């Protein structure tokens, strides 16, 4: 396993992050335990979850599964860099969502209880909250850090200017501020290259891409459809996307075959080669998916392969950051 620093911090995390969103809704607790154990065997030490993940809204079921896994002992908790999130609606009461100081602190305590741990390594704001001032947000986060309940703070689904705004407010309080941003980023979805990633690099904020396979469309969807093994890519919007982009996906799967790699791993290897990326989030439903994803770490894409991927999945505008991407 390869490791890197989380943003500008001294914290070492694996170059792949284990996403747990399937734990509970699609993967049984027993299988979830086995996948987390196997992740540690592979050297994956970075686990991501959220208080809203699970079977039913408000119960934090995925966090509960992780908590019961930690409770087995064996040094599991000490080996894991644990990331969870706050923002989502946890009940019908108006104060039980968002980024008010009240909700941030209560949600952290609830997550700690569910996960049977004393601290959260990376506490991420799941979405920007435009109606809450940064002074209030940072005051709440500072309280949690001072109490030893949170080590680092991250964001998710922010814009580049939100990062700048957050860091300016944190700096005025002599607080570390954001160390990571979790955003959708994959070959199909490259808009973060314009503003968000340049801002993150400037501020030393590590990028944690979610949906690296674009809902399964980059996982060999056409091959799986042909073999009758398609699952996620055959559902809803992903199925529509498959038909809309069939020609591109066919060419992509052909390129992956020429390179001698699984399409999923080519997509992950591409992300691992991108500036500012700390660790793509892999969300395995099965042990086989986890084992397969680890192979991406051994793939180095040469300039020819990267150029061909840019042809198939063009960056926005002229490529690279704005304003050069759209102006002279």
Q: Are 170 and 178 in contact (CB under 8 A)?
A: yes
Beta bridge mates, 4:
13
* Nearest alpha-carbon partner for 273 in 145, 155, 185: 185
Q: Low-confidence residues of the chain, pLDDT below 50?
A: none
Predicted local confidence at residue 318, as pLDDT: 93
Predicted local confidence at residue 238, as pLDDT: 74
In a domain, 55, yes or no: yes
In a domain, 324, yes or no: no
Q: Determine the Cα–Cα distance for residues 262 and 306; give it in Å rounded to an integer.
A: 16
Number of structural domains found in the chain: 1
Helices 160-172 + 134-146 axis angle, to 10: 60
Catalytic residue selected from 53, 87, 123, 252: 53
User: In this predicted model, what pLDDT tens digit does every residue of 57-101 receive, in sequence order?
Assistant: 889 999 999 999 999 999 999 999 999 999 999 999 999 999 999
Q: Determine the Cα–Cα distance for residues 251 and 249; give it in Å rounded to an integer.
A: 5
In a domain, 196, yes or no: yes
Strands 46-48 and 81-86, sheet pairing: parallel
Predicted local confidence at residue 262, as pLDDT: 96
In a domain, 13, yes or no: yes
Q: Is 53 a catalytic residue?
A: yes
Q: Are 185 and 212 in contact (CB under 8 A)?
A: yes
Runs of H (alpha helix) within 84-234: 101-115, 134-146, 160-172, 196-203, 221-227
CATH number, residue 284:
3.20.20.100
Element (H, E) at 3: strand 3-5
User: In this predicted model, what pLDDT tens digit does every residue of 37-59 receive, in sequence order?
Assistant: 999 999 999 999 999 999 788 89
In a domain, 326, yes or no: no
In a domain, 317, yes or no: no
Q: What is the three-class DSSP state of 156?
A: strand
Q: What is the three-class DSSP state of 252?
A: helix
Domain range holding 179?
A: 3-312
What's the whole-model pTM score? 0.94
């Amino acid at each position: 396993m390869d490791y890197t620093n989380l943003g500008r911090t001294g914290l070492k995390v694996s170059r792949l992050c284990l996403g747990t969103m399937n734990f509970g809704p699609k993967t049984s607790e027993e299988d979830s335990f086995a996948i987390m154990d196997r992740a540690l065997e592979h050297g994956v030490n970075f686990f991501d979850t959220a208080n809203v993940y699970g079977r039913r809204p408000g119960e934090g079921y995925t966090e509960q599964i992780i908590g019961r896994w930690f409770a087995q002992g064996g040094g599991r908790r000490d080996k894991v860099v644990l990331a969870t999130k706050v923002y989502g609606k946890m009940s019908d009461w108006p104060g039980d969502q968002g980024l008010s100081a009240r909700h941030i602190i209560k949600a952290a305590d609830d997550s700690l209880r569910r996960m049977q741990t004393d601290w959260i390594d990376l506490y991420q704001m799941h979405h920007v909250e435009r109606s809450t001032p940064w002074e209030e947000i940072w005051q709440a986060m500072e309280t949690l850090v001072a109490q030893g309940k949170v080590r680092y703070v991250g964001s998710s689904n922010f814009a580049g200017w939100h990062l700048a705004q957050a860091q300016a407010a944190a700096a005025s309080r002599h607080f570390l501020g954001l160390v990571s941003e979790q955003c959708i980023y994959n070959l199909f979805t490259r808009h973060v290259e314009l503003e968000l990633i340049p801002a993150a690099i400037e501020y030393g904020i590590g990028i944690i891409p979610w949906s690296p396979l674009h809902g399964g469309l980059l996982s060999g969807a056409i091959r799986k459809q042909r073999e009758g093994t398609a699952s996620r890519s055959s559902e809803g919007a992903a199925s529509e996307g498959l038909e809309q982009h069939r020609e591109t996906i066919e060419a992509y799967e052909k390129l992956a075959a020429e390179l001698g790699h699984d399409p999923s791993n080519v997509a992950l290897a591409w992300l691992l080669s991108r500036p500012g990326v700390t660790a793509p989030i892999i969300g395995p439903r099965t042990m086989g998916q986890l084992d397969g994803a680890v192979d991406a770490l051994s793939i180095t894409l040469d300039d020819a392969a990267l150029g061909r991927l840019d042809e198939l999945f063009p960056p926005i505008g002229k490529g690279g950051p704005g304003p050069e991407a759209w102006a002279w």
